[in-house]
Amino acid sequence: MRMNEIAHTRIRYGFGRIFVLLRREGFTDNHKRVYRIYKACGLNLRTKRPRRSRSAAHRLERLQTKGINQVWSMDFLQDALFNGERFRILAIVDNCSKICHALLVGKSLKGAADVVYLTADGMKLLLAQPDTTKKKGRRDQMLLSLMFECAGRVQEIIDLVPARLNFGKPTLLTLKGKGNKTRIVPLTEKLSIMLKKYMQEYGLLRDQATDYPLFANGRGDKLSRMGITAIMRKYSIKARTVDASLIPTGISPHSLRHSKAMLLQKSEVNIVAIRDFLGHASVTTTEIYARIDNTQKRDALEKTSLLPVSTELPEWQTNRGLLEWLESLGR
């Protein structure tokens, strides 16, 4: 029977998923009849294979305690010297003497992700891709421009409504970020003019449109995360066909936020001001852009260095006794 075949090949599938697959294959029975067959076959009593959680792949073995006062504890250590990865420390501590009897260190589940961003030339190339002769293209260009200029998170842009804009001198945009924290971002005069034209075209300057989504889909609903990601992917692919060197792989809507932060960092803006502009809770989060900028400066200095390369061997390689001792260690 087809239901049994699906249940045995897809161990984690319950009745709902099996019913959808059967309907796709042309079965016309309604869900009540299919569920009666599902129960008659005993499939509702089978033990489904549990999902392997992400933590199981990185789990540290629990240390075994020997004394009655010994307990194990877990802590996290952040390595700020390199890329900000966090390491887990699993230790056995004696409650009475406060002596650590054993220690085990392993990488945590969440390491530091690579920061993918666009240069100024790459950003100009990306913004030139939407077809501004069409209404949808003008919407997409406005969306990408605003995401870059205000360095907004995707959810912050999705939740934007006209009521959060104050067209003054300068124009102020109120963003609601993580933890319902709000921050006010000033917009440039050029972007303010573009935004007012866009809102006038879409009828968002009317009094009754204050709570309408600033960026809507064809049905008038606010854009989703997947919708914005699809827009970003569409124009990044087009831009890559023009100049692949300016558009890195793995680009996402959040890359526009990184791009703005890197541009501010290269313009030598105070890191505290960048923190406030991005809405970070701590300046430690913002320091990742400073580390990336310093790495790029170091690489550029090494490439442009005119110092002669020494061909002499290091002093330790001429020490015969030391070399023989090192070779004996590998035997």
Instruction: List the catalytic residues.
Output: 153, 178, 254, 257, 280, 289
What is d(CA 144, CA 123) in angstroms, rounded to the nearest whole number? 10
Among residues 119, 116, 118, 114, the alpha carbon closest in space to that of 83 is found at 114
Please give the angle made by the CA atoms of 81, 85 and 88, to the nearest 5 degrees.
Answer: 115
Residue 183 parent element (H or E): strand 182-187
What are the φ/ψ torsions at residue 184 (nearest 5 degrees)?
-105, 125
Q: Are 182 and 175 in contact (CB under 8 A)?
A: yes
- Cis? peptide before 170, omega within 30° of 0: yes
Please give the angle made by the CA atoms of 114, 117 and 247, to the nearest 5 degrees.
Answer: 110
Q: Could you tell me the strand order of the sheet in which 165-166 lies?
A: 165-166, 171-176, 182-187
What is d(CA 59, CA 90) in angstroms, rounded to the nearest whole number? 11
- Interhelix angle 135-150/189-201, rounded to 10 degrees, is 140
Q: Are 95 and 69 in contact (CB under 8 A)?
A: yes
CA within 13 Å, CB half, 213: 17
